Structure 1
């Protein structure tokens, strides 16, 4: 039995005091700092995750879903996933900015931020100063001379979770007047409620099956989960897609992919065992699906992960010898 399964099957003691199980996946798409001249502009684009931008010097004009925002020096702009936007430097002296892209598999957190749509954290305000400290810590880690070590990457992830907590607190404490003008075009509260509930139920059902003895997630039925909330499958699919930009089945596939990667990275598990655990009757079916997801076979992904791990250990050893 792998370590994740052992932890999931630990007995529950009624007199014990437990912290909650946290089983989410994060994605850091990278970050960069750049100095640009007056008139510089990024063409209209969208991103699969959140984008957060700190204007270090100068002023930026952002057009998001047809609404114009002026982001002054020191202010921070948060753009949710899937929002079409353009960014332009409108200050004569040019502009310096820092931009980071991230995502997290937590429907409640994602909906909390998306309910506010695009958000500016004004320079000098309490939320801005706390969030800016995290962004500046990322900026200080930009390294142009050497490869990033495992320690560097773990510190980046630690800062990311700190950022999540600050954004979540800011969203909880924000008055209604702090919502941006395009919040009027957000999905209705009922739609947001059902979409979030469906996503959370799918995630819970998926992980419950992984914790079960047979460990087969093929019994997770999206239509049954939607019906359990007393709404039609058609309505559930509609509100889910409107809020998250993809179907519940696509969300379930994303959960499978994330779990597949973590299981493949455990060398003691055979690929056949992993295929069965994820609901595939044949390894060939799982291999084809994994290649559609990633462009790689499960075996190639495992070998590359093992190679990267060896390289990280080698870099760490060399660094210790140089000290």
Structure 2
């Protein structure tokens, strides 16, 4: 009852691990797959190694966390070893980042034989200049990056967008024109900050970071709603999901799949099994026969 097909790939349920939370090690990603997720998204990685920002890189705040990891990356050559060890029983999604269409294209061609999907990170709010949201706020550059990536690989390409724009639908349409197979919404919100009132210093070493967790769910939900009405390709929802009711809302808003990240810190990997059990019970007690019946349901009620 929870099975679905998106971009020609079969998912045993609509729940995936979001990028970043479980780091770069295959053992951690396999743990999530064994805990009930239908797929995992790796931490974003680049061509060359990148140490990222110094600690502290995360700080809890009311409603979630603020993080500024700085897109730390082991580099593609080192990360290939981890990709090879991710269990193929789940859908393997590799998140990549770069500073130009050529860098994204190169990364995609290097890893396409090791994974099932490539997710383009053009949306990190705390990345160094020239990366992340500085790319994803430009529809023309976003379209060029997607197009270059699609031309260099045969696997589906998802584009993860930032909410920090005037019109997220405009960026989604540009990604679709570039050939994106799906749109992932949203990356963390911000940047935001927290100050230590004893020292007067910002807590994060980078001063600013991206906000994630339950507080951003209403914004993520609205972005999914808007983009579902704007493109013909599937939408993947992410942002503040912690229980089956959140998943139902995202499905109703137009998401075909959802990704879970920050909530794992509070509930552990068991959150996937819990949500799957509750979601299956919800469907059994409803008039729906499948996940597909629920996608965009709220739009049909207007």
Shorter-chain TM-score tier: under 0.3
Scaled by the length of structure 1, what TM-score is found? 0.23
Scaled by the length of structure 2, what TM-score is found? 0.24
Structure of higher RCO (CA pairs closer than 8 Å, 6+ residues apart): 2
More helix by share: 1
